[in-house]
Amino acid sequence: MCGIVQVRYRYRIYPAPGQRQSLARVFGCARVVYNDCLRLRDQCHAAGEKISDTEVQRRVVTVAKLTPERAWLGEVASVALVQACQDARRAYKNWFDSLSGQRKGRRVGHPALRRKHHRQSIRLTRNGFALHGGRLYLAKVGDVKVEWSRDLPSVPSTVTVIREPDGRYYASFVVRRAATPLPACGRELGIDLGLASLVVTSGGEAIANPRFLRAKQRRLARAQRALSRKQKGSANRAKARHRVAVVHRKVRQTRLDHAHKIALRLVRDNQAVYAEDLCVSGLARTRLAKSVADAGWSQLLRCIEEKAAQYGREFARIGRFEPTSQVCSACGLKDGPKPLSVRAWQCAGCGVVHDRDVNAARNILAAGRADRLNACGTGVRPPSPAAAGIETGTHRSAA
Protein backbone atom coordinates (compact mmCIF):
# COMPACT_ATOMS: atom_id res chain seq x y z
CA MET A 1 0.00 0.00 0.00
CA CYS A 2 1.17 3.49 -0.70
CA GLY A 3 1.98 5.30 2.48
CA ILE A 4 1.94 8.80 1.06
CA VAL A 5 -0.87 10.73 -0.51
CA GLN A 6 -0.63 13.93 -2.45
CA VAL A 7 -3.17 16.56 -1.54
CA ARG A 8 -3.92 20.23 -1.90
CA TYR A 9 -4.06 22.63 1.01
CA ARG A 10 -5.78 25.89 0.31
CA TYR A 11 -5.50 29.10 2.33
CA ARG A 12 -6.94 32.52 1.96
CA ILE A 13 -4.31 35.19 1.35
CA TYR A 14 -4.47 38.96 1.73
CA PRO A 15 -2.21 40.75 -0.74
CA ALA A 16 -1.65 44.45 -0.01
CA PRO A 17 -2.96 46.93 -2.63
CA GLY A 18 0.43 47.17 -4.36
CA GLN A 19 0.77 43.39 -4.36
CA ARG A 20 -2.71 43.08 -5.87
CA GLN A 21 -1.50 45.26 -8.72
CA SER A 22 1.59 43.11 -9.20
CA LEU A 23 -0.59 40.00 -9.12
CA ALA A 24 -3.03 41.50 -11.64
CA ARG A 25 -0.06 42.06 -13.95
CA VAL A 26 1.26 38.51 -13.64
CA PHE A 27 -2.26 37.02 -13.96
CA GLY A 28 -2.69 39.04 -17.14
CA CYS A 29 0.69 37.96 -18.53
CA ALA A 30 0.07 34.30 -17.71
CA ARG A 31 -3.35 34.52 -19.34
CA VAL A 32 -1.91 36.09 -22.52
CA VAL A 33 0.89 33.51 -22.69
CA TYR A 34 -1.61 30.67 -22.18
CA ASN A 35 -3.87 31.99 -24.93
CA ASP A 36 -0.92 32.65 -27.27
CA CYS A 37 0.20 29.04 -26.76
CA LEU A 38 -3.22 27.74 -27.73
CA ARG A 39 -3.41 29.98 -30.81
CA LEU A 40 0.08 29.01 -31.95
CA ARG A 41 -0.68 25.31 -31.52
CA ASP A 42 -3.96 25.74 -33.41
CA GLN A 43 -2.13 27.49 -36.27
CA CYS A 44 0.48 24.76 -36.50
CA HIS A 45 -2.19 22.08 -36.28
CA ALA A 46 -4.17 23.72 -39.10
CA ALA A 47 -1.01 23.98 -41.23
CA GLY A 48 -0.18 20.34 -40.54
CA GLU A 49 3.07 21.43 -38.88
CA LYS A 50 4.58 19.78 -35.85
CA ILE A 51 5.91 22.11 -33.18
CA SER A 52 7.95 21.14 -30.14
CA ASP A 53 7.11 22.30 -26.63
CA THR A 54 10.37 24.21 -26.32
CA GLU A 55 9.71 25.97 -29.62
CA VAL A 56 6.22 27.02 -28.44
CA GLN A 57 7.71 28.43 -25.26
CA ARG A 58 10.52 30.16 -27.16
CA ARG A 59 8.07 31.90 -29.47
CA VAL A 60 5.37 32.94 -26.98
CA VAL A 61 7.75 33.97 -24.18
CA THR A 62 11.37 34.52 -25.20
CA VAL A 63 10.78 35.94 -28.68
CA ALA A 64 7.53 37.68 -27.76
CA LYS A 65 9.28 39.68 -25.02
CA LEU A 66 11.42 41.32 -27.71
CA THR A 67 8.42 42.68 -29.59
CA PRO A 68 6.83 46.01 -28.61
CA GLU A 69 3.35 44.40 -28.24
CA ARG A 70 4.56 41.87 -25.67
CA ALA A 71 7.53 43.67 -24.09
CA TRP A 72 5.60 43.88 -20.77
CA LEU A 73 5.97 40.11 -20.36
CA GLY A 74 9.46 40.94 -19.13
CA GLU A 75 8.09 42.69 -16.05
CA VAL A 76 6.80 39.57 -14.31
CA ALA A 77 8.40 36.40 -12.92
CA SER A 78 9.19 34.16 -15.88
CA VAL A 79 8.46 31.02 -13.81
CA ALA A 80 4.74 31.92 -13.97
CA LEU A 81 4.94 32.23 -17.76
CA VAL A 82 6.73 28.91 -18.14
CA GLN A 83 4.02 27.22 -16.03
CA ALA A 84 1.33 28.87 -18.18
CA CYS A 85 2.98 27.29 -21.24
CA GLN A 86 2.89 23.91 -19.52
CA ASP A 87 -0.74 24.30 -18.51
CA ALA A 88 -1.62 25.10 -22.12
CA ARG A 89 0.43 22.16 -23.32
CA ARG A 90 -1.43 19.78 -21.01
CA ALA A 91 -4.85 21.19 -21.90
CA TYR A 92 -4.02 20.78 -25.58
CA LYS A 93 -2.70 17.28 -25.08
CA ASN A 94 -5.81 16.20 -23.14
CA TRP A 95 -7.99 17.42 -25.98
CA PHE A 96 -5.81 15.68 -28.55
CA ASP A 97 -5.71 12.39 -26.66
CA SER A 98 -9.44 12.58 -26.13
CA LEU A 99 -9.98 13.05 -29.89
CA SER A 100 -7.78 10.10 -30.75
CA GLY A 101 -9.39 7.95 -28.06
CA GLN A 102 -6.15 7.65 -26.09
CA ARG A 103 -7.62 9.38 -23.09
CA LYS A 104 -10.19 7.57 -21.05
CA GLY A 105 -13.01 9.30 -19.29
CA ARG A 106 -15.12 12.23 -20.25
CA ARG A 107 -14.67 13.73 -23.70
CA VAL A 108 -12.49 16.80 -23.40
CA GLY A 109 -13.35 19.75 -25.59
CA HIS A 110 -10.91 22.10 -27.27
CA PRO A 111 -9.30 24.11 -24.46
CA ALA A 112 -11.00 27.45 -23.97
CA LEU A 113 -9.15 30.73 -23.98
CA ARG A 114 -8.71 32.19 -20.51
CA ARG A 115 -10.83 35.21 -19.87
CA LYS A 116 -10.36 38.31 -17.84
CA HIS A 117 -13.53 38.06 -15.78
CA HIS A 118 -13.09 34.41 -14.90
CA ARG A 119 -10.97 32.94 -12.16
CA GLN A 120 -7.34 34.04 -12.52
CA SER A 121 -4.43 31.92 -11.50
CA ILE A 122 -0.69 31.43 -11.71
CA ARG A 123 1.27 28.36 -10.77
CA LEU A 124 4.73 28.64 -9.27
CA THR A 125 7.30 25.95 -8.62
CA ARG A 126 9.97 26.05 -5.93
CA ASN A 127 12.04 28.72 -7.64
CA GLY A 128 9.07 31.09 -7.73
CA PHE A 129 7.98 31.09 -4.09
CA ALA A 130 9.22 30.58 -0.55
CA LEU A 131 7.74 30.32 2.92
CA HIS A 132 9.29 32.24 5.76
CA GLY A 133 8.02 33.49 9.05
CA GLY A 134 4.39 32.70 8.31
CA ARG A 135 4.49 34.72 5.11
CA LEU A 136 4.37 33.55 1.54
CA TYR A 137 7.03 35.10 -0.66
CA LEU A 138 6.04 35.28 -4.34
CA ALA A 139 8.63 36.22 -6.95
CA LYS A 140 8.31 39.87 -8.04
CA VAL A 141 5.25 40.32 -5.80
CA GLY A 142 6.76 40.11 -2.33
CA ASP A 143 5.72 38.72 1.06
CA VAL A 144 1.99 38.10 1.15
CA LYS A 145 -0.06 37.68 4.31
CA VAL A 146 -1.61 34.22 4.70
CA GLU A 147 -4.42 33.07 6.96
CA TRP A 148 -2.97 29.75 8.14
CA SER A 149 -6.21 27.90 8.95
CA ARG A 150 -4.23 24.69 9.51
CA ASP A 151 -0.60 23.58 9.43
CA LEU A 152 1.01 22.40 6.21
CA PRO A 153 1.96 18.72 6.63
CA SER A 154 5.11 19.03 4.51
CA VAL A 155 7.08 21.46 2.40
CA PRO A 156 4.97 22.21 -0.67
CA SER A 157 6.31 21.53 -4.15
CA THR A 158 4.14 24.07 -5.96
CA VAL A 159 1.74 26.84 -5.16
CA THR A 160 -1.16 28.08 -7.25
CA VAL A 161 -2.18 31.65 -6.51
CA ILE A 162 -5.81 32.25 -7.35
CA ARG A 163 -8.06 35.24 -7.62
CA GLU A 164 -11.68 34.14 -7.62
CA PRO A 165 -14.27 36.14 -9.55
CA ASP A 166 -15.66 37.40 -6.22
CA GLY A 167 -12.34 39.18 -5.56
CA ARG A 168 -10.89 36.83 -2.92
CA TYR A 169 -7.35 35.53 -3.16
CA TYR A 170 -6.13 32.04 -2.27
CA ALA A 171 -2.92 30.07 -2.24
CA SER A 172 -3.28 26.37 -2.98
CA PHE A 173 -0.27 24.22 -2.11
CA VAL A 174 0.49 20.72 -3.33
CA VAL A 175 1.83 18.73 -0.37
CA ARG A 176 2.57 15.14 0.55
CA ARG A 177 0.90 13.68 3.60
CA ALA A 178 1.26 10.31 5.31
CA ALA A 179 -1.70 7.99 4.79
CA THR A 180 -3.54 6.92 7.95
CA PRO A 181 -5.08 3.53 7.14
CA LEU A 182 -8.11 2.49 9.17
CA PRO A 183 -8.52 -1.10 10.41
CA ALA A 184 -9.88 -3.30 7.64
CA CYS A 185 -13.62 -3.97 7.50
CA GLY A 186 -15.52 -6.38 5.28
CA ARG A 187 -18.25 -4.13 3.91
CA GLU A 188 -18.47 -2.92 0.33
CA LEU A 189 -20.85 -0.36 -1.08
CA GLY A 190 -22.20 0.67 -4.48
CA ILE A 191 -23.50 4.20 -4.87
CA ASP A 192 -25.81 5.65 -7.48
CA LEU A 193 -25.69 9.39 -8.05
CA GLY A 194 -28.96 11.07 -8.84
CA LEU A 195 -31.03 14.19 -8.94
CA ALA A 196 -33.82 13.43 -6.48
CA SER A 197 -31.24 12.23 -3.97
CA LEU A 198 -27.57 13.10 -4.28
CA VAL A 199 -26.64 9.50 -3.46
CA VAL A 200 -28.54 6.23 -3.11
CA THR A 201 -26.53 3.33 -1.69
CA SER A 202 -26.77 -0.37 -2.40
CA GLY A 203 -27.83 -0.69 1.24
CA GLY A 204 -30.96 1.28 0.44
CA GLU A 205 -30.01 4.58 2.06
CA ALA A 206 -30.86 7.82 0.26
CA ILE A 207 -28.75 10.89 1.03
CA ALA A 208 -30.21 14.18 -0.14
CA ASN A 209 -28.59 17.55 -0.50
CA PRO A 210 -29.40 19.62 2.56
CA ARG A 211 -32.24 22.09 2.31
CA PHE A 212 -30.00 25.12 2.82
CA LEU A 213 -27.87 24.10 -0.15
CA ARG A 214 -30.92 23.85 -2.38
CA ALA A 215 -32.00 27.30 -1.21
CA LYS A 216 -28.58 28.71 -2.10
CA GLN A 217 -28.71 27.04 -5.51
CA ARG A 218 -32.05 28.71 -6.21
CA ARG A 219 -30.53 32.04 -5.19
CA LEU A 220 -27.65 31.43 -7.60
CA ALA A 221 -30.03 30.74 -10.48
CA ARG A 222 -31.87 33.96 -9.65
CA ALA A 223 -28.64 35.99 -9.58
CA GLN A 224 -27.59 34.50 -12.92
CA ARG A 225 -30.92 35.45 -14.49
CA ALA A 226 -30.53 38.99 -13.17
CA LEU A 227 -27.03 39.18 -14.67
CA SER A 228 -28.25 38.05 -18.09
CA ARG A 229 -30.71 40.95 -18.17
CA LYS A 230 -28.06 43.64 -17.57
CA GLN A 231 -26.58 45.63 -20.42
CA LYS A 232 -23.09 44.66 -21.56
CA GLY A 233 -20.39 46.95 -20.24
CA SER A 234 -22.66 48.74 -17.77
CA ALA A 235 -21.84 49.37 -14.12
CA ASN A 236 -24.94 47.42 -13.13
CA ARG A 237 -23.67 44.43 -15.03
CA ALA A 238 -20.38 44.53 -13.14
CA LYS A 239 -22.31 44.65 -9.86
CA ALA A 240 -24.57 41.78 -10.91
CA ARG A 241 -21.52 39.77 -11.95
CA HIS A 242 -19.97 40.25 -8.55
CA ARG A 243 -23.20 39.17 -6.87
CA VAL A 244 -23.25 35.97 -8.96
CA ALA A 245 -19.63 35.30 -8.00
CA VAL A 246 -20.39 35.69 -4.30
CA VAL A 247 -23.45 33.40 -4.39
CA HIS A 248 -21.45 30.95 -6.46
CA ARG A 249 -18.75 30.82 -3.82
CA LYS A 250 -21.32 30.17 -1.10
CA VAL A 251 -22.88 27.32 -3.07
CA ARG A 252 -19.47 25.83 -3.74
CA GLN A 253 -18.37 26.01 -0.12
CA THR A 254 -21.60 24.59 1.28
CA ARG A 255 -21.55 21.78 -1.25
CA LEU A 256 -17.92 20.96 -0.55
CA ASP A 257 -18.57 20.86 3.16
CA HIS A 258 -21.48 18.47 2.67
CA ALA A 259 -19.45 16.32 0.24
CA HIS A 260 -16.63 15.98 2.78
CA LYS A 261 -19.03 14.77 5.44
CA ILE A 262 -20.74 12.18 3.24
CA ALA A 263 -17.41 10.99 1.80
CA LEU A 264 -15.88 10.54 5.22
CA ARG A 265 -18.81 8.45 6.43
CA LEU A 266 -18.94 6.24 3.32
CA VAL A 267 -15.18 5.62 3.37
CA ARG A 268 -15.01 5.01 7.11
CA ASP A 269 -17.87 2.49 7.10
CA ASN A 270 -16.82 0.51 4.01
CA GLN A 271 -13.69 -1.20 2.77
CA ALA A 272 -14.56 -0.41 -0.84
CA VAL A 273 -16.87 2.12 -2.46
CA TYR A 274 -17.91 1.84 -6.11
CA ALA A 275 -19.54 4.52 -8.22
CA GLU A 276 -20.47 4.84 -11.83
CA ASP A 277 -17.96 6.91 -13.77
CA LEU A 278 -19.67 10.17 -14.62
CA CYS A 279 -18.47 10.09 -18.21
CA VAL A 280 -20.41 6.91 -18.91
CA SER A 281 -23.39 7.44 -16.64
CA GLY A 282 -26.73 7.99 -18.28
CA LEU A 283 -27.08 11.32 -16.54
CA ALA A 284 -23.93 12.73 -18.09
CA ARG A 285 -25.25 12.14 -21.57
CA THR A 286 -28.18 14.42 -21.08
CA ARG A 287 -28.36 18.19 -20.90
CA LEU A 288 -28.37 17.88 -17.12
CA ALA A 289 -24.64 17.22 -17.25
CA LYS A 290 -24.02 20.95 -17.35
CA SER A 291 -26.21 21.63 -14.37
CA VAL A 292 -25.37 22.36 -10.78
CA ALA A 293 -25.91 18.69 -9.97
CA ASP A 294 -23.02 17.66 -12.20
CA ALA A 295 -20.56 19.82 -10.29
CA GLY A 296 -21.84 18.32 -7.05
CA TRP A 297 -21.31 14.74 -8.23
CA SER A 298 -17.74 15.30 -9.44
CA GLN A 299 -16.92 17.07 -6.21
CA LEU A 300 -18.33 14.22 -4.14
CA LEU A 301 -16.44 11.57 -6.13
CA ARG A 302 -13.21 13.55 -5.74
CA CYS A 303 -13.76 13.72 -1.97
CA ILE A 304 -14.38 9.97 -1.75
CA GLU A 305 -11.28 9.31 -3.84
CA GLU A 306 -9.09 11.49 -1.63
CA LYS A 307 -10.41 10.03 1.61
CA ALA A 308 -10.11 6.46 0.37
CA ALA A 309 -6.42 7.11 -0.37
CA GLN A 310 -5.96 8.76 3.00
CA TYR A 311 -7.60 5.97 5.00
CA GLY A 312 -6.31 2.99 3.01
CA ARG A 313 -9.66 2.08 1.49
CA GLU A 314 -10.65 1.26 -2.08
CA PHE A 315 -12.58 3.52 -4.37
CA ALA A 316 -13.29 2.59 -7.97
CA ARG A 317 -15.30 4.11 -10.76
CA ILE A 318 -17.15 1.64 -12.92
CA GLY A 319 -15.79 2.69 -16.28
CA ARG A 320 -17.68 0.60 -18.75
CA PHE A 321 -21.25 1.36 -19.52
CA GLU A 322 -23.71 -0.81 -17.61
CA PRO A 323 -27.37 -0.20 -18.21
CA THR A 324 -27.84 -0.17 -14.45
CA SER A 325 -31.56 0.45 -14.47
CA GLN A 326 -32.33 -2.22 -17.05
CA VAL A 327 -30.95 -5.19 -15.19
CA CYS A 328 -32.48 -6.91 -12.15
CA SER A 329 -29.87 -6.86 -9.41
CA ALA A 330 -31.32 -10.05 -7.90
CA CYS A 331 -31.50 -12.44 -10.88
CA GLY A 332 -29.75 -10.54 -13.67
CA LEU A 333 -32.74 -10.44 -16.01
CA LYS A 334 -32.40 -7.62 -18.51
CA ASP A 335 -35.84 -6.33 -19.31
CA GLY A 336 -35.12 -3.16 -21.24
CA PRO A 337 -35.03 0.56 -20.59
CA LYS A 338 -37.62 2.18 -18.37
CA PRO A 339 -38.67 5.82 -18.56
CA LEU A 340 -37.38 7.98 -15.69
CA SER A 341 -40.91 8.23 -14.32
CA VAL A 342 -40.79 4.55 -13.38
CA ARG A 343 -39.43 4.64 -9.83
CA ALA A 344 -40.14 1.03 -8.89
CA TRP A 345 -41.05 -2.19 -10.66
CA GLN A 346 -41.38 -5.90 -10.12
CA CYS A 347 -38.92 -8.13 -11.93
CA ALA A 348 -40.69 -10.44 -14.38
CA GLY A 349 -38.03 -13.09 -13.77
CA CYS A 350 -37.78 -13.44 -10.01
CA GLY A 351 -40.63 -11.31 -8.72
CA VAL A 352 -38.46 -9.03 -6.58
CA VAL A 353 -39.79 -5.47 -6.32
CA HIS A 354 -37.06 -2.94 -7.02
CA ASP A 355 -36.56 0.69 -6.23
CA ARG A 356 -34.96 2.16 -9.33
CA ASP A 357 -32.00 3.86 -7.61
CA VAL A 358 -31.26 1.11 -5.10
CA ASN A 359 -31.30 -1.44 -7.91
CA ALA A 360 -28.81 0.71 -9.85
CA ALA A 361 -26.55 1.00 -6.77
CA ARG A 362 -26.64 -2.81 -6.34
CA ASN A 363 -25.67 -3.32 -9.97
CA ILE A 364 -22.80 -0.87 -9.52
CA LEU A 365 -21.67 -2.80 -6.45
CA ALA A 366 -21.73 -6.07 -8.41
CA ALA A 367 -19.76 -4.54 -11.31
CA GLY A 368 -17.24 -3.05 -8.88
CA ARG A 369 -16.74 -6.38 -7.11
CA ALA A 370 -16.29 -8.17 -10.43
CA ASP A 371 -13.66 -5.63 -11.51
CA ARG A 372 -11.86 -5.98 -8.21
CA LEU A 373 -11.80 -9.77 -8.33
CA ASN A 374 -10.55 -9.64 -11.91
CA ALA A 375 -7.78 -7.32 -10.92
CA CYS A 376 -6.81 -9.56 -7.99
CA GLY A 377 -6.91 -12.70 -10.17
CA THR A 378 -4.39 -11.32 -12.63
CA GLY A 379 -2.22 -9.93 -9.89
CA VAL A 380 -2.72 -6.42 -11.17
CA ARG A 381 -3.96 -3.92 -8.67
CA PRO A 382 -6.29 -1.31 -10.04
CA PRO A 383 -4.43 2.00 -9.97
CA SER A 384 -5.44 4.21 -7.11
CA PRO A 385 -6.25 7.46 -8.87
CA ALA A 386 -5.71 9.63 -5.82
CA ALA A 387 -2.30 8.13 -5.21
CA ALA A 388 -1.39 8.48 -8.86
CA GLY A 389 -1.38 12.21 -8.36
CA ILE A 390 -4.01 14.84 -8.16
CA GLU A 391 -4.69 17.40 -10.78
CA THR A 392 -2.05 20.04 -10.58
CA GLY A 393 -3.78 22.11 -13.21
CA THR A 394 -4.77 25.64 -12.46
CA HIS A 395 -7.67 25.59 -14.83
CA ARG A 396 -10.11 23.55 -12.86
CA SER A 397 -13.80 23.94 -13.22
CA ALA A 398 -15.60 25.97 -10.62
CA ALA A 399 -16.38 22.87 -8.62
* Count of all residues that appear for the chain in the document: 399
155 vs 331, beta carbon nearer Zn ion: 331
Q: How far is the CB of 340 from Zn ion (least distance, A)?
A: 21
Give CA–CA dist 158/163, Å, rounded: 17
Residue 393: closest CA among 126, 144, 64, 34: 34
109 vs 204, beta carbon nearer Zn ion: 204
> What end-to-end distance do the CA atoms of the chain give, in Å?
29
Give CA–CA dist 169/1, Å, rounded: 36
- Choose the catalytic residue: 36, 164, 276, 305: 276
Distance set, CA 240 to CA 36, 214, 251, 298, 317 (Å): 30, 21, 17, 27, 39
306 vs 357, beta carbon nearer Zn ion: 357
Residue 208 in the binding site for Zn ion (CB under 5 A)? no
Q: How far is the CB of 338 from Zn ion (least distance, A)?
A: 14
Site for Zn ion in 120-149 (CB under 5 A): none
41 vs 354, beta carbon nearer Zn ion: 354
Q: How far is the CB of 369 from Zn ion (least distance, A)?
A: 18
What lies within 8 Å, CB to CB, of 220 at 6+ separation is 244, 247, 248, 251, 292
Q: How far is the CB of 345 from Zn ion (least distance, A)?
A: 10
223 vs 347, beta carbon nearer Zn ion: 347
204 vs 389, beta carbon nearer Zn ion: 204
Distance set, CA 321 to CA 202, 274, 308 (Å): 18, 14, 23
- Choose the catalytic residue: 36, 87, 192, 322: 192
Sort 22 into a burial class: Cβ within 10 Å, 0-12 / 13-18 / 19+. buried
Give CA–CA dist 328/136, Å, rounded: 56
Q: How far is the CB of 3 from Zn ion (least distance, A)?
A: 44
Is 166 a known active-site residue? no
- Choose the catalytic residue: 164, 306, 314, 357: 357
String marking each residue 299-328 x if it binds Zn ion according to CB under 5 A: -----------------------------x
Q: How far is the CB of 281 from Zn ion (least distance, A)?
A: 22
What lies within 8 Å, CB to CB, of 134 at 6+ separation is 146, 148
- Alpha-helical regions (H) of 150-204: none
Q: How far is the CB of 330 from Zn ion (least distance, A)?
A: 5
Q: How far is the CB of 318 from Zn ion (least distance, A)?
A: 20
Calculate the CA dihedral of residues 372, 373, 379, 382 and round it to 10 degrees.
Answer: -10
174 vs 347, beta carbon nearer Zn ion: 347
Is 269 a known active-site residue? no
| E strand or H helix that includes residue 124 | strand 120-125
Site for Zn ion in 245-304 (CB under 5 A): none
Site for Zn ion in 323-352 (CB under 5 A): 328, 330-331, 333, 347, 349-350
Give CA–CA dist 392/124, Å, rounded: 11
Sort 67 into a burial class: Cβ within 10 Å, 0-12 / 13-18 / 19+. exposed
Is 276 a known active-site residue? yes
- Alpha-helical regions (H) of the chain: 17-46, 53-57, 78-99, 211-229, 235-269, 292-310, 356-377
236 vs 346, beta carbon nearer Zn ion: 346
Give CA–CA dist 34/32, Å, rounded: 5
Q: How many chain residues bind Zn ion (CB under 5 A)?
A: 7
Residue numbers at the binding site for Zn ion (CB under 5 A): 328, 330-331, 333, 347, 349-350
Active-site amino acid positions = 192, 276, 357
